[in-house]
Amino acid sequence: MGVDMREEPDVEHVAGEARPKKLLLRALAGERTERPPIWLMRQAGRYLPEYHDVREAAGGMVGLCNSPEHAVEVTLQPLRRFTLDAAILFADLPQIAAALGQTLEYRVGDGPVLTPPIRSTSDITEFLSASRLHEELAPIYETVRQLTRALPDELTLIGYAGAPWTVAAYMVEGRGGSSEHSFVKQWALSDPEGFQPLIDLLTAAIIEFLDRQIQAGAEAIQLFESWAGILPDPLFQRWCVTPIAAIVAALKAKHPSVPIIAFPRGAGLAYNGFAEATGVDCVGLDSTVPVEWAAQKLQHELGRCVQGNLDPQLLVAGGPALHAETDRILNALSGGPFVFNLGHGIVKTTPPEHVAALAQQVRSWSAA
């Protein structure tokens, strides 16, 4: 009673009782924390033997993503093994495309495959509709609800979605294994007015999807722009920056205190200006971004949180190489608001004991 909450940035008042605010949320709010929080992109998945058992029991990847009970279990698996600071909702990025009307399958070697591929403006009207969006995504909202009850108090629950350009890339290419992205790039480059409705449909759907995740209990949001790096600069601004800014504005209007991380993988020099243009609370850095630049420009000049950026292959390598690079990143970025993570998702050949060693090193790190 009578406590001025503004003077207690580290305390969250829940139903009248005060308890320490979670480490990850403090960092995302722009605070330099006593040690950086850590979570890892793709921290759940195939590098863990116990994951394979659950996936099999669920009848494969699609079944796993649509079964809250199994999805909750695999979300929690890495947290039982490692001392991490957050859980990320277990679901998959192309599920929203399936909710809009495409058929999603996983094929060995190809990853997610979406049919029919969306290749023209008339395909959008013929094959896609948002009318059943929430019905189709209901199992994901249920997974989030169950996770809020299952997670220990000090862990943060991260909800997520692919950003519109990245989801569109999967929808247009169809096959996950496509490496040149010829179809989506041809469309976006040569017929921007015809491609715009797809991005607009996705932007609106992603706003609703994330709004529902937050209502179900997600405490922070990450937008994965995994294919930011394949666009020439003016188109990066149009197809990545503008839609992400729209999503951030819409979510902030409704949920001002929920922090948003965006990960524009491969953006290169376009990382410069990205935080200002989109309004995100935290910028996810891929492994090519120089940490000294991020410390100076994003943390020091803008007061923004950064997340990243250990190369996932170092986690496969382990040993002195992993230790030294982790130390270098910690030293460069721990002077400001910082979330330790990888520069892209964990790869499936990662030995779990290397993840344990990394988590331990980050947790025992101190500036001294």
Is position 85 annotated as part of the catalytic site?
no
Tokens linked to 362: 């980050």
> Rounded to an integer, what distance in angstroms lies between the CA atom of residue 73 and that of residue 76?
5
Q: Which stretch binds ligand CP3 (CB under 6 A): 9-17, 85-93, 289-297, 310-318?
A: 85-93
> Rounded to an integer, what distance in angstroms lies between the CA atom of residue 68 and that of residue 87?
15
Please, are residues 199 and 165 in contact by the beta-carbon 8 Å criterion?
Answer: yes
Query: Is 176 among the residues that bind ligand CP3 (CB under 6 A)?
Result: yes
Phi, psi angle pair for 10, to nearest 5°: -95, 5
> Rounded to an integer, what distance in angstroms lies between the CA atom of residue 208 and that of residue 215?
10
Is position 311 annotated as part of the catalytic site?
no
CB of residue 74 vs ligand CP3: minimum separation in angstroms? 8
* Residue list 43-72, contact with ligand CP3 (CB under 6 A): 43-46, 55, 61
Q: Which stretch binds ligand CP3 (CB under 6 A): 91-99, 306-314, 333-341, 358-366?
A: 91-99
**233 labeled binding residue:** no
> Rounded to an integer, what distance in angstroms lies between the CA atom of residue 123 and that of residue 78?
40
Q: Which stretch binds ligand CP3 (CB under 6 A): 92-100, 184-192, 208-216, 234-242?
A: 92-100
CB of residue 15 vs ligand CP3: minimum separation in angstroms? 30
- The identity of residue 70, as a single letter, is H
Nearest Cα to 290, choosing from 345, 227, 333, 336?
333
Question: x-or-dash pattern for ligand CP3, window 220-259, by CB under 6 A?
Answer: ----x-x---------------------------------
Nearest Cα to 205, choosing from 260, 163, 166, 152?
163
> Rounded to an integer, what distance in angstroms lies between the CA atom of residue 245 and that of residue 165?
13
The one among 72, 88, 137, 210 contacting ligand CP3 by CB under 6 A: 88
Is position 42 annotated as part of the catalytic site?
yes
> Rounded to an integer, what distance in angstroms lies between the CA atom of residue 125 and that of residue 260?
31
CB of residue 81 vs ligand CP3: minimum separation in angstroms? 13
Secondary structure (3-state) at 139:
helix
Query: Is 307 among the residues that bind ligand CP3 (CB under 6 A)?
Result: no
Nearest Cα to 229, choosing from 269, 183, 178?
269
Is position 119 annotated as part of the catalytic site?
no
**Which member of 47, 160, 170, 271 is catalytic?**
170
How deeply is 64 buried, as exposed, middle or buried, from its count of CB atoms within 10 A (0-12, 13-18, 19+)? buried
CB of residue 55 vs ligand CP3: minimum separation in angstroms? 5
Give whichever of 230 and 332 is closer to ligand CP3, judged by the CB atom. Answer: 230
* Residue list 114-173, contact with ligand CP3 (CB under 6 A): 160
Phi, psi angle pair for 102, to nearest 5°: -80, 165
Give whichever of 21 and 344 is closer to ligand CP3, judged by the CB atom. Answer: 344
Size of the chain in residues? 368
Is position 46 annotated as part of the catalytic site?
yes
Question: What residues are designated binding site for substrate?
Answer: 42-46, 92, 170, 226, 344
Question: What residues are designated binding site?
Answer: 42-46, 92, 170, 226, 344
Contact residues: ligand CP3, CB under 6 A: 41-46, 55, 61, 88, 90, 92-94, 106, 111-112, 160, 176, 224, 226, 345
Which residues are catalytic, by number?
Answer: 42, 46, 55, 92, 170
